[in-house]
Amino acid sequence: MKDFLSISDYSSEELQDLLDLAVKMKAQYFAGGNPPLAQGKVMAMIFQKPSLRTRVSFDMVMRHLGGDALYLSPAEIGLGKRESVADVARVLSGYVHVIMARVFAHEHVTELGEYASVPVINGLSDFNHPCQAMADALTIQEKFGSLKGVNVSYVGDGNNVAASLMYIAAKLGANFTIANPEGYDMPAHAIELGRKLAAESGSSITLLNDPHEAVKGAQAIYTDTWTSMGQEAETEKRLKVFPPYQVNADLVAKADKDVIVMHCLPAHRNEELTDEVADGPHSVIFPQAHNRLHAQKAIVARLLGVA
């Protein structure tokens, strides 16, 4: 693994290996701390979009592993504007040991990977959110033992988070169902790839518009904000379209009795997810957020070749 750009780039075995390492490193952390595997290593963190979880979790990954992280704001780089992506990649490769980038356009992170001589991690792009998917998978595995045969239902916008969740579900044998309003589907190429991956693992991909139908038998219900960063002009329109897709007590009651409710955060409470559910017995949204730290430790350690 040179880079970590999309879940679909890696085999089921590689992904499960990362999850197993994440489990080990999480246990180490709670048993007294991780060994300084990344001592002397520095991560450059490029941000075009703000983030609480991505910035803090990656910063703490490097601290826990004995390394350091350097935050680079949009004003400091102007990725693809002030300086070409290729030049940024080549310059940073001479300064740091790994690059994490949270970008708008997926081609920016793939171009960083192409021109950087150090590993590049996708901290989010418009195409997918692979680090979030690893934390999601770790959370599901902790609840059910593995992803094989688990019914995962996503309710809401067919966005980048939905795509990554679909890919990791398909890779690791979970059955993935999505319910979204008409016109808010995942891109056709993402669905086509998801179906191909599911066929290889023997799992299923189901596309619906009815959220109540989608959660029948669900063991995990997942939702995300109805308006992602960069779509702010559509907020008013989306607030009229998405209310039937709210994850509330009525919807959760139609799922498996032991269902877990997931959200990548930040949540717009009482829009896509009610307070009652977010703070209720089925919610794992905060353990899920904390698992970003442990999943990303595994990713960084593997890319740096230290574990």
What is the set of active-site residues? Answer: 102, 129, 132, 224, 264, 292
Other Cβ atoms less than 10 A from the Cβ of 14: the count is 13
CB–CB of 163/126 below 8 Å?
A: no
> Which residue, among 62, 122, 133, 69, has the nearest Cα to 96 in the 3D structure?
69
Angle between helix 130-144 and 285-304 (nearest 10): 120
**Residues belonging to the chain:** 307
CA angle in degrees (0–180, nearest 5) for 257-130-16: 70
DSSP 202-265: T--EEEES-HHHHTTT-SEEEE--SS-TT-GGGHHHHHHHSGGG-B-HHHHTTS-TT-EEEE-S
Which single residue is written with the structure tokens 């209720």? 280
> What are the residues facing 205 on neighbouring strands?
176
